[in-house]
């Protein structure tokens, strides 16, 4: 099983900021309830805001690809997906073995 990690940021246009700020708490709460969600964080980084773009740092971890894919599908069909349709996303998605899988692999090699 490979853990999925997404990290990066989004840039929210000024005209969409109010809707994003209103929808964000529910989006976070719903994501935390998703099966397979290990970590989920979206935080505004005012230091990186510009005149027309508002910067939010994003970090997510899901137990596996299936859980991550279900999250992505839910987001696309949600209010969050609607209010962030104009948001620019800058993400890196990586896969890594879980700690348990790494341990089992180490045991098998010895």
CATH number at residue 77: 3.30.70.100
Is 58 in a helix, a strand, or coil?
Answer: strand
What's the pTM?
0.84
Residue 1 DSSP code: -
* 86: its two tokens: 């104009």
Question: Confidence class of residue 52 from pLDDT cuts 50, 70 and 90?
Answer: confident
Cβ-contact 64, 1 below 8 angstroms: yes
- Which pLDDT score, from 0 to 100, does residue 12 have? 97
Domain region containing 63: 2-109
Long-range contacts of 28-35 (CB under 8 A, 24+ apart): 30/74, 30/78, 31/60, 31/71, 34/67, 34/70, 34/71, 34/74, 35/67, 35/70
107 vs 41, higher pLDDT: 41
Q: How many CA atoms lie within 13 A of 46 on its CB side?
A: 0
Number of domains observed in the structure of the chain:
1
d(CA 27, CA 23): 6
């Amino acid at each position: 099983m490979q853990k999925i990690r997404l990290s990066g940021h989004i840039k929210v246009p000024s005209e969409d900021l109010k809707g994003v700020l209103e929808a964000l708490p529910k989006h976070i709460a719903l994501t935390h309830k998703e099966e397979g969600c290990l970590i989920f964080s979206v935080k505004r980084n005012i230091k990186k805001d510009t005149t027309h773009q508002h910067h939010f740092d994003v970090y997510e971890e899901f137990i596996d690809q299936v859980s991550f894919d279900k999250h992505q599908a839910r987001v696309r069909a949600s209010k969050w997906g609607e209010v962030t349709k104009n948001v620019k996303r800058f993400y890196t998605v990586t896969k890594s073995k879980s700690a348990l899988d790494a341990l089992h692999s180490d045991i098998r090699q010895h």
